[in-house]
Chain A
Amino acid sequence: MTSADKQPAPLFPHRHLLGIEGLSPSDITSLLDLADTYVEQNRQVDKKGNVLRGRTQINLFFEASTRTQSSFELAGKRLGADVMNMSVSSSSVKKGETLIDTAVTLNAMHPDLIIIRHQNSGAVELLSQKVSCAVINAGDGAHEHPTQALLDALTIRRRKGRLEGLRVAICGDILHSRVARSNILLLNAMGARVRVVGPPTLMPVGIERLGVEVFHDMKKGLEGVDIVMMLRLQLERMAGSYVPSQREYFHFYGLDYSKLAHAKPDALVMHPGPMNRGVEIDSAVADDIDRSLIREQVEMGVAVRMAVLDALSRNLPNELPLSGGRS
């Protein structure tokens, strides 16, 4: 009860990071500013910090992910935390109750931070209600992936110097994309103008009411944009259920130089990875060092996750309750 003495207003006034929804522009700016400092630290020979020394971080991934999990792992280790990775394949556990049981079990080990990815929307929020530590959403179903949106914003801000007023086109499978949702929320909150581009079958109903312009013609959608953000399209969705074929999808919605030519001359290309080269993005565009930010996004990912871990850990209690037990 006395943990609030001598402390100024918190940098990030939230216990968890469950999504971009609910964050204020100043929350977002604080995280991005903090992340900027970690970008510099990560470029030094000695990358090791100690703000998380003594803290335990658990990466709980119910859905396989190489890059997000390793990014969080590296972020935690560079801040001095003890990091444990748990990959729980959905086939090997019974669904549902095991999810909550897993959380309760892990919680009993007194972690300070749990990073969770789950294939179902809302699962991370559900788990956050069952644990006493800080929870970071590393992607839940088709709902949110807040650290991806933050790293995208950091990447854009460092290249363009701002977010406000930029035109950003998010292209591809909007329907199933948590990356799209988090990015729409974040970019709108920061004053960018967001377009979504894709076939009607891959657009959620009522998407325009999230404050975006909807385009089904990619060339028109890219007209005059500063940033082209491509999304991954899962291959099984291209076999006739949502779009007729990979070939047809690439023809109309794959990013190549001819479509990119409709964007601003200095427009930059982003992709959250992993890419389906030749399906949603042409290899030459993806690897164009003048246009593609894809590798930079990965670098920013580590810095942003360090910032989030740091910010949330500042809100953690520094002393255990006197009774020694957590209820």
Chain B
Amino acid sequence: MSRTAFVNARLIDPASGYDEKGNLLVEDGMIADLGSQLFSDGLPDGVEVVDCGGKVLAPGLIDCRVFTGEPGAEHRETLALSSKAAAAGGVTTMIVMPNTDPVIDDVALVDFIERRARDTAIVNVHTMAALTKGLHGDQMTEIGLLRDAGAVGFTDGVKAVANAQLMRRVLSYAAHVGALVVQHAEEPALATGVMNESELAGRLGLAGTPAISETIMIERDLRLLELTGGRYHVSQISCEASVDIIRRAKTRGLPVTCGVSAAHLQLNENDVQSYRTFFKLSPPLRAEQDRLALVAGLADGTIDVIVSSHDPQDPEVKRRPFAEANFGAIGLETLLPAGLALVHNGDLPLGRLLAALTCIPSDLLGLGRGRLVTGLPADLVLIDTEVPWRLDPANLKSISKNTPFEDRLFQGRALRTMVGGRTVYVHGEDAGR
């Protein structure tokens, strides 16, 4: 029987708002007990003791949007390597996207991911399966069977379901099965650019993707959702108008949720200056006004979850002229620090940040994690919210180094990560498998 005692911690359970100094006991991979009175009679014998030094002990982070290269592009990153990056970022559960080769659109492939993750990954891995076969956008996948096989949501990942008729049927069918439909909201006919459509795109001579490509798709889907019911989630929103649309839809009681990437909360289109392809994202980084609206939308609960949109890309597809380079940036290791920057700016309370990274995504996907509650698996992260550091890509666990935060100064990071009672990361030590 393995037991770990976290002592002298600031325990934060975002779901309940609990935030107290105290101790926490992990036994056999589960949270056995916690509170300020725990161990008041002394520590039990034979436990490993972790002195938290007053730092924050919170539920491990849940990242709803992670791309890995497995299967098909293992040179970019495997599940095992992505999971090491996740552990180093305090992420204890990552949800991987179906945009692999082959596409995760079949029960056997969900099973493959689950087995590979079980055998090689050091954090929890769940799969979002494809909404349409081969991501081609014309035939729905076996939503019920895939859900039974373990898929926690359905999405075409970096592709939108553009066909309105199919989307209506998918929403309707998924509603009956109780599955979550996740849209990449970009009207493809309008989203033909490589950055935000703006004065800057004009100056740089780059084709722009306008914000309306996103809002048109969300508004269309919300109309469909009114007809069908069910659960609809926008994987990432990027602009002020989308925040307004989602806010109004929630006020009307529509079953809609949405996410935002940490990059979109920290960066804007001006970072693209001089054609830096690590800032080429989909949806694109938009204007500062949009970024501010996203931060406000997160603070007031319009935006439900923060994702990393971790997307490893190798130099061969990034060291290209901007128009030819691939989209995507890594983000597992910067998810928490980028979020903490908002807390340090006074944009939102720490509890709200952690909720968007723990209990809310857990509830959205039905994971039954993301809380400091006795009897739940011990997925924990010890966070130093204050320590200043500079991001050096060489120190990242990700083998692909396409981070938009190169040389960025951060304040705060994960110090120790535990998944199911097993310590998978200790800052300063290589505690990986």
Tell me, yes or no, whether A84 is within 8 Å of chain B by CB: no
Is B316 in contact with A178, judged by CB distance below 8 angstroms?
no
Residue in A21, A99, A120, A206 whose CB lies within 8 Å of B199 = A206
Is B320 in contact with A210, judged by CB distance below 8 angstroms?
no
Tell me, yes or no, whether A305 is within 8 Å of chain B by CB: no
Is B324 in contact with A205, judged by CB distance below 8 angstroms?
no
Tell me, yes or no, whether A112 is within 8 Å of chain B by CB: no
Interface segment out of the listed B202-210, B300-308, B356-364, B381-389: B202-210
Is A121 in contact with B316, judged by CB distance below 8 angstroms?
no
As a 0/1 sequence over residues 177 to 200 of chain B, the CB contacts with chain A under 8 angstroms (1 = contact) are: 000000000000000000001111
Tell me, yes or no, whether B49 is within 8 Å of chain A by CB: no
Q: Which of B197, B198, B199, B205 has the most CB of A within 10 A?
A: B205
A122 and B199 in contact, given A96-B317, A97-B319, A97-B320 (Cβ under 8 angstroms): no
A97 and B322 in contact, given A205-B197, A206-B199, A206-B202 (Cβ under 8 angstroms): no
Q: How far is the CA of A75 from the CA of B320 in the complex (A)?
A: 30
Tell me, yes or no, whether A82 is within 8 Å of chain B by CB: no
Q: How far is the CA of A154 from the CA of B323 in the complex (A)?
A: 32
Residues of the B chain whose Cβ atoms lie less than 8 Å from the Cβ of A141: 205-206, 321, 323
Is B204 in contact with A143, judged by CB distance below 8 angstroms?
yes
Residue in B210, B317, B319, B322 whose CB lies within 8 Å of A122 = B322
Tell me, yes or no, whether A126 is within 8 Å of chain B by CB: yes
Tell me, yes or no, whether A293 is within 8 Å of chain B by CB: no
A96 and B205 in contact, given A205-B197, A205-B198, A209-B199 (Cβ under 8 angstroms): no
Task: Tell me the number of A-to-B contacts counted with CB atoms below 8 Å.
Answer: 78
Tell me, yes or no, whether B256 is within 8 Å of chain A by CB: no
Is A121 in contact with B202, judged by CB distance below 8 angstroms?
no
Is A204 in contact with B201, judged by CB distance below 8 angstroms?
yes
Is A143 in contact with B205, judged by CB distance below 8 angstroms?
yes
Is B275 in contact with A126, judged by CB distance below 8 angstroms?
yes
A96 and B320 in contact, given A122-B206, A140-B205, A141-B205 (Cβ under 8 angstroms): yes
Tell me, yes or no, whether B37 is within 8 Å of chain A by CB: no
Residues of the A chain whose Cβ atoms lie less than 8 Å from the Cβ of B324: 95-96, 120
Q: Which of B203, B319, B322, B325 has the most CB of A within 10 A?
A: B203
Tell me, yes or no, whether B251 is within 8 Å of chain A by CB: no
Q: Closest approach, in angstroms, between the C-beta of B200 and any C-beta of chain A?
A: 8
B202 and chain A: residue at smallest CB distance: A204
Residues of the A chain whose Cβ atoms lie less than 8 Å from the Cβ of B208: 205
Tell me, yes or no, whether B274 is within 8 Å of chain A by CB: yes
A122 and B203 in contact, given A95-B320, A95-B324, A97-B320 (Cβ under 8 angstroms): no
Q: How far is the CA of A21 from the CA of B210 in the complex (A)?
A: 25
A99 and B205 in contact, given A205-B199, A206-B198 (Cβ under 8 angstroms): no
Is B321 in contact with A121, judged by CB distance below 8 angstroms?
yes
Size class of the A contact interface (CB-based, 8 Å)? 20 to 34
Tell me, yes or no, whether A144 is within 8 Å of chain B by CB: yes
Residue in B198, B201, B202, B316 whose CB lies within 8 Å of A97 = B316
Size class of the B contact interface (CB-based, 8 Å)? 20 to 34
Residues of the B chain whose Cβ atoms lie less than 8 Å from the Cβ of A95: 320, 324
A95 and chain B: residue at smallest CB distance: B324
Residue in A122, A123, A140, A205 whose CB lies within 8 Å of B202 = A205
Residues of the A chain whose Cβ atoms lie less than 8 Å from the Cβ of B325: 96
Residues facing A in B293-352 (CB within 8 A) are: 316-317, 319-325
Q: Which of A120, A123, A209 has the most CB of B within 10 A?
A: A120
B274 and chain A: residue at smallest CB distance: A125
A203 and chain B: residue at smallest CB distance: B202
A127 and chain B: residue at smallest CB distance: B321
Tell me, yes or no, whether A51 is within 8 Å of chain B by CB: no
Q: How far is the CA of A195 from the CA of B321 in the complex (A)?
A: 30
Q: How far is the CA of A125 from the CA of B277 in the complex (A)?
A: 13
Q: Which of B197, B204, B321, B325 has the most CB of A within 10 A?
A: B321
Q: How far is the CA of A263 from the CA of B107 in the complex (A)?
A: 70
Residues of the B chain whose Cβ atoms lie less than 8 Å from the Cβ of A97: 316, 319-320
Tell me, yes or no, whether A261 is within 8 Å of chain B by CB: no
Is B198 in contact with A122, judged by CB distance below 8 angstroms?
no
Residues of the A chain whose Cβ atoms lie less than 8 Å from the Cβ of B203: 21, 181, 210
Tell me, yes or no, whether A118 is within 8 Å of chain B by CB: yes
Is B197 in contact with A178, judged by CB distance below 8 angstroms?
no
Q: How far is the CA of A79 from the CA of B320 in the complex (A)?
A: 33
Q: Closest approach, in angstroms, between the C-beta of A253 and any C-beta of chain B?
A: 20
B199 and chain A: residue at smallest CB distance: A206
Tell me, yes or no, whether A39 is within 8 Å of chain B by CB: no
Residues facing B in A103-147 (CB within 8 A) are: 118, 120-123, 125-126, 140-144
Q: Closest approach, in angstroms, between the C-beta of B154 and any C-beta of chain A?
A: 33
Residues facing B in A248-295 (CB within 8 A) are: none
Q: How far is the CA of A121 from the CA of B317 in the complex (A)?
A: 16
B208 and chain A: residue at smallest CB distance: A205
A122 and B201 in contact, given A96-B316, A97-B316 (Cβ under 8 angstroms): no
Is B205 in contact with A181, judged by CB distance below 8 angstroms?
yes
Q: How far is the CA of A118 from the CA of B197 in the complex (A)?
A: 22
Q: Closest approach, in angstroms, between the C-beta of A155 and any C-beta of chain B?
A: 23
A207 and B323 in contact, given A96-B316, A121-B275, A125-B275 (Cβ under 8 angstroms): no
Is B201 in contact with A144, judged by CB distance below 8 angstroms?
no
Residues of the B chain whose Cβ atoms lie less than 8 Å from the Cβ of A143: 204-206
Is B197 in contact with A122, judged by CB distance below 8 angstroms?
no
As a 0/1 sequence over residues 190 to 223 of chain A, the CB contacts with chain B under 8 angstroms (1 = contact) are: 0000000000000011110110000000000000
Starting from the known contacts A120-B323, A210-B203, 10 additional A-B residue pairs (CB-CB under 8 Å) come to: A96-B325, A99-B320, A100-B320, A142-B205, A178-B205, A181-B205, A205-B199, A206-B198, A206-B200, A210-B199
Q: Give 20 pairs: A residue, B residue, CB < 8 Å, sorted on A.
A: A21-B203, A95-B324, A96-B316, A96-B325, A97-B320, A118-B321, A120-B321, A120-B322, A121-B205, A122-B323, A125-B274, A141-B323, A142-B205, A143-B206, A181-B203, A205-B198, A205-B201, A206-B199, A209-B199, A210-B199
Q: Which chain A residues have a beta carbon within 8 Å of chain B's beta carbons?
A: 21, 95-97, 99-100, 118, 120-123, 125-126, 140-144, 178, 181, 204-207, 209-210
Q: Which chain B residues have a beta carbon within 8 Å of chain A's beta carbons?
A: 197-206, 208, 210, 274-275, 316-317, 319-325
Among all A-B residue pairs, the 3 with the closest Cβ atoms: A206-B199, A143-B205, A122-B275
